[in-house]
């Protein structure tokens, strides 16, 4: 469903007790920050507490028409719970979010700062961000505020330090946005010949520890100064003559390395491969009498330095073809390169359509037409529209009547948009008892059926595997969508029996999805194993709005990390080929 936060851009419809409680607690905080009468905030917190402790899935009970009796929940708050359970959103919550500045709400993350203190800080000192709070505390600006003291000031400073040290790796979607912006501006600096992301971002790892940038320059000092002077830089950790490390405000560390254009090749190799890949290359160089570093190949006999301006030249010196960054992880790519067996990896250009998209008919934001036109503008030949089936109550899943109406709308649009095609699909719920959400005769009428598990996630590994297998083995199911159920940094994968699923997928031809939303599911190692087992995969955006269609790029990145070639990936087929393959 369309929710604003990165962690929930997942299309997942179930709202957990924890999430319900979080929203109600946040309402309590916001009411207090806004200076509302205290009992209102208390009422929300009390219900939040009850929801959190409730032994069953509260949203599910609402959807079943059996709302639980929760202490403290009168008619008004019960109606709000119902709205959340049905739609996954709450208009009242959104209204408050629009009234309270994000930065003020964020102050509550600091241990010791509650809503009342946040309100005081905002009203008396205009503090509306963690940064502003830090500066005020550092300059002794808090101790004179009524109700605060030198002691509070000290506690707040320590608290801010503690939260900034919390380590979560950044989702690649967010890292890409940050880096594109930085690179765009640094490229303009005089004397910058080339500048590229390196490290885990260039390997397209799903999460990024810090951002690495490499620049080939005439004047190292100029680009280093340009980075350090950017307004969003919070701190300069270290600045040398050929390297600078900074921390972005509320963001990750950025390491900028600089080199001469003549030594670009070895530098880029050095700062891209993981340790195992780089060690393998250095070993091969040593066998040839060279010591390889970012600076170049140093001839051990005479100390001379061989420079390479291009990566391909570095690999060529070692007798290797260029290896795609996504593979540089020291798990077989060097051996494959030596044997001439590197895969011809699938690329974005190979992709012809998107096998998982939503519209405003269920939990998407845009109309079918708007989604289709946007996909066409991206160069797609088709999309599979896969709105939800009914049992996923939070998404207003489509009843059989609505499915028919949607079919008519798609036919109308296809006449208008040809040769672009909208294939009529469904994201079919695999119910907790392993049955499917539409009867077979209805499934037969869809062009493409993708099936997924959203509910009943707490079952045993055996039960969960049985459900996934039931879908894979079903003659009308074409794709198992986001098979592991994970969401990066948010939700762990289901404990499924993967070898059994891969065997069944390979045998039946049911494709396994690589989902490019922040789920990034299957992950690269599972997708690689699936490919090896002979299963077919697909890459899909799971877009719920036009802007999310490009999420499919992340699925392609993962497919590449999984060593997949175009013919292993369903979305590289034309619409006709796809339909024929699935028939
Ligand atoms: P991350 O940041 O945890 O997501 O993962 P990486 O792979 O980006 O790790 P990072 O930032 O420590 O290193 C950046 C690149 O530099 C990575 O491709 C490995 C490479 N590298 C080669 N030699 C060294 C070294 O001596 N120190 C570090 N820090 N990196 C090196
Ligand atoms: Ca890094
Ligand atoms: Ca780094
Ligand atoms: Zn979906």
Across the range 346-362, mean pLDDT stands at 97
Does ligand 1 have an atom closer than 6 angstroms to the CB of 274? yes
Give the nearest ligand 1 atom to 201 CA. Answer: 8
Question: Which pLDDT score is estimated for 12?
Answer: 39
CA distances from 58 to 26, 62, 63, 167, 417 (A): 18, 6, 9, 32, 43
Question: Which pLDDT score is estimated for 267?
Answer: 98
Q: Decide yes or no: CATH 1.25.40.10 for domain 265-338.
A: no
Across the range 54-78, mean pLDDT stands at 90
Distance 83 CA to ligand 4 centre (A): 21
Does ligand 1 have an atom closer than 6 angstroms to the CB of 270? yes
List pLDDT tens digits, range 19-63. 899 999 999 999 999 999 888 998 999 899 889 878 788 998 999
Domain 170-259 and domain 348-582 have a common topology: no
Question: Which pLDDT score is estimated for 155?
Answer: 85
Distance 179 CA to ligand 4 centre (A): 28
Across the range 549-569, mean pLDDT stands at 98
Across the range 283-293, mean pLDDT stands at 97
Distance 244 CA to ligand 3 centre (A): 10
Across the range 364-370, mean pLDDT stands at 96
Distance CA 160, CA 410 (A): 53
Q: Which helix (H) or strand (E) holds 276?
A: helix 275-287
The better pLDDT of the pair 1, 325 is held by 325
Distance 196 CA to ligand 3 centre (A): 14
Distance 271 CA to ligand 1 centre (A): 6
Neighbours of 39 (CB within 10 A): 9
Which residue has tokens 């396994």? 512
Distance CA 38, CA 31 (A): 8
Across the range 189-196, mean pLDDT stands at 96
Pick the CATH number of 17-99 from 3.40.50.740, 1.10.150.110, 1.10.150.20, 1.10.10.10: 1.10.150.110
Question: Which pLDDT score is estimated for 5?
Answer: 32
Give the nearest ligand 1 atom to 278 CA. Answer: 22
Distance CA 145, CA 506 (A): 68
Q: Comparing 200-204, 453-457, 478-482, which segment has the lowest mean pLDDT?
A: 453-457
Q: Comparing 163-172, 446-455, 564-573, which segment has the lowest mean pLDDT?
A: 163-172
Beta-bridged to residue 305, according to DSSP, are 298
Does ligand 1 have an atom closer than 6 angstroms to the CB of 197? no
Ligand with minimal distance to 10 CA? 4
List pLDDT tens digits, range 477-512. 999 999 999 999 888 899 999 999 999 999 999 999
Shortest-distance Cα residue to atom 21 of ligand 1: 271
Shortest-distance Cα residue to atom 1 of ligand 1: 209
Ligand with minimal distance to 544 CA? 4
Question: Which pLDDT score is estimated for 14?
Answer: 63
Which residue has tokens 């359509």? 353
Distance CA 389, CA 472 (A): 17
Select from 172, 176, 208, 212 the residue to mutate for testing ligand 1; criterion: most ligand atoms less than 8 Å from CB: 212
Question: Which pLDDT score is estimated for 15?
Answer: 83
Select from 257, 271, 275 the residue to mutate for testing ligand 1; criterion: most ligand atoms less than 8 Å from CB: 271
Closest CA to 434 of 472, 476, 405: 472
Across the range 134-146, mean pLDDT stands at 90
Distance 435 CA to ligand 4 centre (A): 19
Q: Pairing between strand 296-299 and 290-293?
A: antiparallel
> For residues 501 and 472, is the Cβ–Cβ distance under 8 A?
yes
Radius of gyration of the chain (CA): 27
Q: What is the DSSP letter of 366?
A: S
Q: Decide yes or no: CATH 3.40.50.11030 for domain 170-259.
A: no
Question: Which pLDDT score is estimated for 489?
Answer: 84
Question: Which pLDDT score is estimated for 166?
Answer: 54
**Superfamily designation of domain 102-165:** 5' to 3' exonuclease, C-terminal subdomain (1.10.150.20)
Question: Which pLDDT score is estimated for 163?
Answer: 72
Does ligand 1 have an atom closer than 6 angstroms to the CB of 171? no
The better pLDDT of the pair 206, 458 is held by 206
Which residue has tokens 């209102």? 40
Shortest-distance Cα residue to atom 16 of ligand 1: 271
Question: Which pLDDT score is estimated for 10?
Answer: 32
Does ligand 1 have an atom closer than 6 angstroms to the CB of 273? yes
Average pLDDT, the chain: 93
DSSP string, 170-217: EEHHHHHHHHHHHHHHHTTSTTEEEEEEEHHHHTT-SEESSEEEEEEE
Angle among Cα 372, 553, 196 to the nearest 5 degrees reads 135
Distance 13 CA to ligand 4 centre (A): 9
Q: Is the dihedral of CA 68, 71, 75, 77 positive or negative?
A: negative
Shortest-distance Cα residue to atom 3 of ligand 1: 209
Across the range 437-449, mean pLDDT stands at 97
Does ligand 1 have an atom closer than 6 angstroms to the CB of 352? no
Residue 124 CB partners (closer than 8 Å, separation 6+):
145, 146
Q: Comparing 103-117, 125-139, 185-199, 285-299, which segment has the lowest mean pLDDT?
A: 103-117
Q: Which helix (H) or strand (E) holds 449?
A: strand 448-452
Beta-bridged to residue 383, according to DSSP, are 354, 422
Distance 327 CA to ligand 1 centre (A): 15
> For residues 135 and 235, is the Cβ–Cβ distance under 8 A?
no
Give the nearest ligand 1 atom to 200 CA. Answer: 8
The better pLDDT of the pair 54, 334 is held by 334
Residue 266 CB partners (closer than 8 Å, separation 6+):
292, 293, 294, 295, 296, 297, 307, 308, 314
Across the range 208-220, mean pLDDT stands at 96
How does residue 133 score in pLDDT terms, banded at 50, 70 and 90?
Answer: very high
Across the range 354-380, mean pLDDT stands at 97
> For residues 137 and 160, is the Cβ–Cβ distance under 8 A?
yes
Per-domain residue ranges of the chain: 17-99, 102-165, 170-259, 265-338, 348-582
Check whether 3 has a pLDDT greater than 70: no
Across the range 416-439, mean pLDDT stands at 97
Which residue has tokens 């010791």? 112
Burial 336-348 (b: 16+ CB within 10 A, else e): bbeeeebbebbee
Distance 390 CA to ligand 1 centre (A): 47
Ligand with minimal distance to 272 CA? 1
Ligand with minimal distance to 245 CA? 3
Q: Tokens standing for 302? A: 């005479």
Distance CA 264, CA 177 (A): 24
Q: Tokens standing for 419? A: 């040769």
Question: Which pLDDT score is estimated for 13?
Answer: 43
Distance CA 486, CA 457 (A): 11
Does ligand 1 have an atom closer than 6 angstroms to the CB of 210? yes
How does residue 240 score in pLDDT terms, banded at 50, 70 and 90?
Answer: confident
Closest CA to 18 of 65, 66, 58: 58
The better pLDDT of the pair 392, 566 is held by 566
Does ligand 1 have an atom closer than 6 angstroms to the CB of 278? yes
The better pLDDT of the pair 163, 218 is held by 218
Does ligand 1 have an atom closer than 6 angstroms to the CB of 159? no
Does ligand 1 have an atom closer than 6 angstroms to the CB of 200? yes
Check whether 129 has a pLDDT greater than 60: yes
Question: Which pLDDT score is estimated for 1?
Answer: 34
Helix/strand/coil (H/E/C) assignment for every residue in 452-495: ECCCCCCCCHHHHHHHHHHHHHCCCCCEECCCCCCECCCECCCC
In 15-57, alpha helices (H):
17-33, 38-53
> For residues 118 and 104, is the Cβ–Cβ distance under 8 A?
yes
Question: Which pLDDT score is estimated for 164?
Answer: 67
Does ligand 1 have an atom closer than 6 angstroms to the CB of 252? no
Helices (runs of H) and strands (runs of E) counted in the chain: 24, 17
Question: Which pLDDT score is estimated for 56?
Answer: 83
Domain 348-582 class?
Answer: alpha beta
Check whether 6 has a pLDDT greater than 80: no
Distance 245 CA to ligand 1 centre (A): 13
Distance 484 CA to ligand 2 centre (A): 26
Distance CA 325, CA 328 (A): 5
């Amino acid at each position: 469903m369309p929710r604003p936060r990165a962690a929930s851009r997942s299309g997942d419809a179930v709202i957990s007790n924890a999430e319900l409680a979080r929203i109600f607690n946040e309402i309590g905080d916001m009411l207090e920050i806004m200076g509302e009468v205290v009992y209102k905030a208390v009422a929300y917190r009390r219900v939040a507490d009850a929801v959190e402790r409730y032994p069953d899935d509260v949203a599910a009970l609402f959807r079943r028409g059996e709302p639980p009796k929760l202490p403290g929940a009168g008619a008004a708050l019960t109606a709000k719970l119902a709205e959340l359970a049905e739609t996954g959103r709450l208009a009242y919550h959104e209204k408050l979010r629009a009234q309270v500045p994000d930065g003020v709400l964020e102050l509550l993350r600091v241990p010791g700062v509650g809503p009342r203190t946040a309100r005081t800080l905002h009203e008396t000192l205009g503090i509306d961000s963690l940064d502003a709070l830090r500066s005020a505390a550092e300059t002794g600006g808090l101790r004179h505020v009524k109700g605060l003291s030198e002691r509070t000031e000290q506690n707040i400073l320590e608290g801010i330090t503690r939260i900034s040290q919390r380590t979560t790796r950044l989702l690649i979607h967010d890292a890409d946005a940050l880096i594109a912006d930085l690179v765009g501006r640094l490229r303009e600096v005089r004397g910058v010949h080339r500048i590229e992301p390196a490290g885990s971002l260039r390997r397209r790892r799903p999460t990024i520890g810090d951002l690495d940038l490499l620049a080939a320059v005439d004047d190292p000092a100029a680009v280093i100064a340009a980075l350090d002077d950017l307004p969003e830089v919070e701190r300069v950790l270290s600045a040398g003559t050929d390297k600078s490390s900074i921390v972005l405000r509320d963001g990750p560390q950025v390491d900028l390395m600089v080199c001469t254009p003549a030594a670009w090749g070895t530098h880029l190799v050095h700062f891209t491969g993981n340790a195992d890949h780089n060690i393998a290359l250095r070993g091969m160089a040593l066998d040839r009498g060279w010591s390889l570093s970012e600076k170049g190949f140093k001839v051990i006999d005479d100390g001379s330095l061989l420079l390479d301006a291009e990566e391909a030249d570095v690999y060529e010196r070692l007798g290797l073809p260029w290896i795609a960054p996504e593979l540089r992880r020291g798990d077989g790519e060097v051996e494959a390169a030596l044997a001439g067996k590197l895969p011809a990896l699938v690329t974005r250009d190979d992709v012809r359509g998107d096998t998982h998209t939503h519209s405003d008919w269920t939990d998407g934001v845009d109309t079918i037409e708007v989604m289709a036109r946007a996909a066409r503008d991206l160069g797609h030949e088709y999309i599979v529209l896969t709105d939800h089936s009914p049992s996923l109550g939070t998404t207003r899943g489509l009843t059989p009547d609505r499915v028919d109406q949607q079919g008519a709308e798609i036919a109308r649009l296809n006449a208008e948009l040809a040769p672009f095609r909208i294939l009529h699909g469904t994201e079919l719920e695999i119910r907790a008892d392993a049955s499917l959400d539409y009867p077979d005769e209805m499934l037969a009428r869809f062009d493409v059926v993708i099936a997924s598990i959203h509910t009943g996630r707490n079952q045993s590994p055996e039960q969960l595997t049985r459900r996934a297998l039931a879908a894979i083995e079903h003659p009308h199911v074409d794709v198992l969508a986001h098979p592991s159920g994970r969401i990066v940094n948010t939700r762990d994968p289901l404990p499924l029996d993967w070898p059994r699923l891969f065997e069944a997928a390979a045998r039946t031809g049911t494709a396994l999805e690589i989902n490019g939303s922040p789920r990034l599911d299957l992950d690269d190692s599972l997708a690689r194993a699936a490919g090896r087992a002979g299963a077919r995969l697909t890459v899909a955006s799971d877009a719920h709005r036009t802007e999310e269609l490009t999420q499919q790029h992340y699925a392609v990145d993962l497919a590449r990390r999984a060593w997949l070639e175009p013919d292993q990936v369903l979305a590289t087929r034309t619409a006709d080929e796809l339909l024929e393959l699935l028939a």
